[in-house]
Chains A and B, each alone.
Chain A
Amino acid sequence: MIEVRKLVKTYGLKPVLRGLELQVEPGEFLALLGPNGAGKTTLLRILASLARPNAGLVRIAGYSLPREAAAVRGKLGVVSHLPLLYGDLTAEENLRFYARMYDLTDVERRVTGALDLVGLRARRRDLVREFSRGMQQRLAIGRAMLHDPEVLLFDEPYTGLDQDAAQMLDELLRQVAGRGRTVLMTSHDLLRSASLATRLDILSRGVIARSLDPRGMAPGELAALYAQVTHG
């Protein structure tokens, strides 16, 4: 579903991704871990066609970037640590606006469906700026799910969430991933990622340094492996 070959990205003279290789199969939930500056967000921004690579091949759902960027964007749902929502519009207006940007038909049904999915139907007429951080993040997931995308990209979605909101987000992520979608999530939270994902990749110095199956691994074992890869 996601295929990345020899991906290179530099900012000025600073190389961020150095010939990165990645393959994510349909239905897989991949958590991408790594220290700050490892290139996780840069990789996600390239996959989302928000940044242009210097070299390499990227294919998503059969379309290649940057040549077929608009087609790729139609297959993607993206959630970042910023909500990508307008504070001066209501929850419903935000979703309706994005539905029109995606040129969706049956807008009202989709908007109501997204609000139901994230449990915000009762607050649909409230301004987003009055929402808590957790509610904004839930609505951001509703926005990303509006067009029923095949691939979901989450860029550190837990940033700034309290314990209750993070648990609610866990449930929501399990729910959306359980519908057979391909999910790629970047995170700093090793244990949370291990509980959600079917595969953990550790990004270090611009390449995938290690790929793990977290099932059956003890938290201590995971933490030791992570430390070994990132500090070794």
Chain B
Amino acid sequence: MAEAARRSRLGGYLRAIGAVIWKDLAAELRSRELLGAMLVFALLVVLIFNFALELDVRTRATVTSGVLWVTFTFAGTLGLNRSMAVEKDRGCLDGLLLAPVDRSAIFFGKAAANLIFLLIVVALVVPLYSLLYNTNLMVPGLLGVIVLGCLGYIVVGTLLASMAVQARTRDILLPILLFPVVLPVLVAAIKATNGYLLGLEMADIQPWLNLLIVYDVVFTAVSFMLFDFVVEE
């Protein structure tokens, strides 16, 4: 009996996560506000860097990781702000918080939807960057680093966006809160990306990968524990 109740609770929890993801994707499919803004911004950043930096092959390899992560980070911030603003402006965040489900399900649903949006941007930016800069980014290990980096960034970003959205100055507040906190994830992601692009040994890349994984786990656990306190007045 207790086992059945526990399973039912777990099922309800997972269904709530699924519902939030579905809702965000369905609304975005109609409005194309969030993804459109993220994509245009990301493509502009890549193009501006392409014109601004006239680089030889060797230097190009060293700046690629920085350009890529600046692009993902700024586009991601745009998406995070918009994603929570939609919830706040029509009172929908209250609607979500009124559901009789553990509130971490709302957090995981929002974070998963935000991650999907960012990975769509990544999927378009990476081939374009490869083309413009004549650099091969289609390396499985490198793509793994990008996914891990985006995960850590989005987990912290979703938590802080939930906090910043309560303030009038939310657009300014989010980057100010987010960038210092997410710095360890970005440094680890940039170093690991650089390692793959420069063709370093796995032994040199592994410590950064380990750091990235540890930060992802820690940030996910901390966000899971704090979300309820962040959203409740």
Contacts and interface: CB of A to CB of B under 8 A. Distances in A.
Contacts of A89: 23, 26-27, 30
Contacts of B27: 86, 88-89
Contacts of A45: 233
A85 B101 contact: no
Contact of A88 (B22, B31, B94, B95): B31
B124 interface: no
Interface stretch (A48-56, A180-188, A198-206, A216-224): A48-56
A143 B90 CA distance: 14
B25 to A, nearest CB: 11
Contacts of B28: 88
Interface string B204-233: 000000000000000000000000000011
B94 A101 contact: no
Contacts of A143: 95
A88 B31 CA distance: 7
B97 interface: yes
Interface stretch (B10-18, B59-67, B151-159, B186-194): B10-18
Contacts of A80: 91, 94
B101 A70 contact: yes
B92 interface: yes
A83 B167 CA distance: 21
Contacts of A70: 100-102
A192 B22 CA distance: 40
A12 to B, nearest CB: 12
Nearest to A52: B232
Contacts of B23: 86, 89, 97
A20 interface: no
Given A86-B92, A102-B99, A50 B232 contact: yes
Contact of A71 (B15, B18, B30, B100): B100
A83 B18 contact: no
B110 to A, nearest CB: 13
Nearest to A48: B98
Interface string A78-100: 10101111111100010001101
B143 interface: no
Contacts of B97: 49-50
Interface residues of B, number: 29
Determine chain B's interface SS by DSSP, over half rule.
Answer: helix
A85 B92 contact: yes
Nearest to B232: A52
A73 interface: yes
B19 A97 contact: yes
A103 interface: yes
A138 to B, nearest CB: 16
A83 B98 contact: no
Contacts of B94: 48, 50, 78, 80, 82, 84
B148 interface: no
Contact of A52 (B11, B26, B233): B233
A76 interface: yes
B225 to A, nearest CB: 16
Given A73-B99, A143-B95, A86 B233 contact: no
B165 to A, nearest CB: 14
Interface string B169-191: 00000000000000000000000
A190 interface: no
A166 interface: no
B43 interface: no
Interface string A204-220: 00000000000000000
A127 interface: yes
A125 B90 CA distance: 20
Nearest to A72: B100
A118 to B, nearest CB: 16
14 contacts: A49-B232, A50-B94, A52-B232, A74-B100, A82-B90, A88-B28, A88-B30, A101-B16, A101-B20, A101-B99, A102-B99, A103-B12, A103-B15, A103-B100
Interface of B: 11-12, 15-16, 18-20, 22-23, 26-28, 30-31, 86, 90-92, 94-102, 232-233
- The 5 A-B residue pairs whose C-beta atoms are closest, nearest first, are A82-B91, A84-B95, A74-B100, A100-B19, A51-B233
